Structure 1
Amino acid sequence: MKHVDRAALVLGLGIGGFIDGIVIHRLLGRHHVLSGWYPLDDIHPMMVGDGLFHLLCLLLVLWGVALLNRRQPLPNPVLAGGILTGWGVFTLVEGVVDHFVLGIHHVRHGPGELLHDIAFLVVGAVLVVAGVLMSRRSQPAVRERA
C-alpha cells in the first residue's frame, strides 16, 4: 500500500466505519457492535457500544483531516483512492476481527450468516484493490508536478 496516501487512508478508515455504522447498524438494523455478546433485548449495551464505535470513527476522520490540512491538497484520484483503500481495510479488519475472531456480531444473524460475512469481506477486498489502483494510476502525474 505504498501508493496510498496516509491521510486519505485514515480518512477512509473513519468514513468506512461511519458508513458501516450508519447504514448497517442504524438504517438496516442488521446488528450492533456488541450484538453477539449481549442479548438484543438489552439495548443499552448496544447503544453504548455503537456510540463508542462512532466516536472512534469521528476521531479517525478528524485525524485524517488534520493530516491533510498540514500540507497541500491531494489530487482527487489520490485522495479518493486512499479513502477507498481505507474503507476497504476497515471492512476487512472489522469483518475478520468482529465477525470471525471475536464473534461479537455478523452482517446478518441467522440463515446465510457465513455467506453474508464472506460477501462483506469480498466488498472490502474490492475496495482495497480499486483504491490502490486509483492511487497508483495517478502517481506519475503527482511526481511530474513535484
Structure 2
Amino acid sequence: MGISTIGFASASLPRRGAKAPIEKPRLQPGSTTKDLSMKTIVTPRGWCPASRFNKALLPLALGFYRAEGLKLRGAGKWRSALCPFHNDHEPSLRVNIHTGAFRCFVCDAHGGDVLAFYRLRARVGFVEAAKRLGAWEER
C-alpha cells in the first residue's frame, strides 16, 4: 500500500509572498498607443490625464509645522508638540521633521506628510489641500 499524490499542478498555485501582476494600461476603442506614451491611464471611470499632484512642491516639514503654530520640542528627527486636534495640555503629538509624518498618541490623529496634516486641520479634500499648499500643477 503506497501513498498516493493528489493530481494537480503545483505551478498553478501562487507562491507565498508573490506579488500580484501589474496590469498594463488598456487601449480604449478609437485610441492609439500614442495616448499611452503621453502618460494617460485607464481608470474604472475611463481615461484621465496623469496626476497633477507634485509631492516635491510640498513645503518642508519643519517650516510648515512652525508656520502652523506648533512649538516643536526635543531633538532628532521626531519632535513633540501640543496636538491641535484635541484639547491638549502636554505634548502628545509626535512629528517627523524629515518626512512630515505625524501621530497623536491621545486622539490617534496620524498621517504620512504635511498634506495629510493640512487636510485634517483644514477639513478639505486632497485636491483642495494640494492647491492651497502649492503642490497642484495646473496644465
What is the TM-score when the length of structure 2 is the normalising length? 0.30
Q: Which has the higher relative contact order, 1 or 2, with Cα contacts under 8 A spaced 6 or more apart?
A: 1
More strand per residue? 2
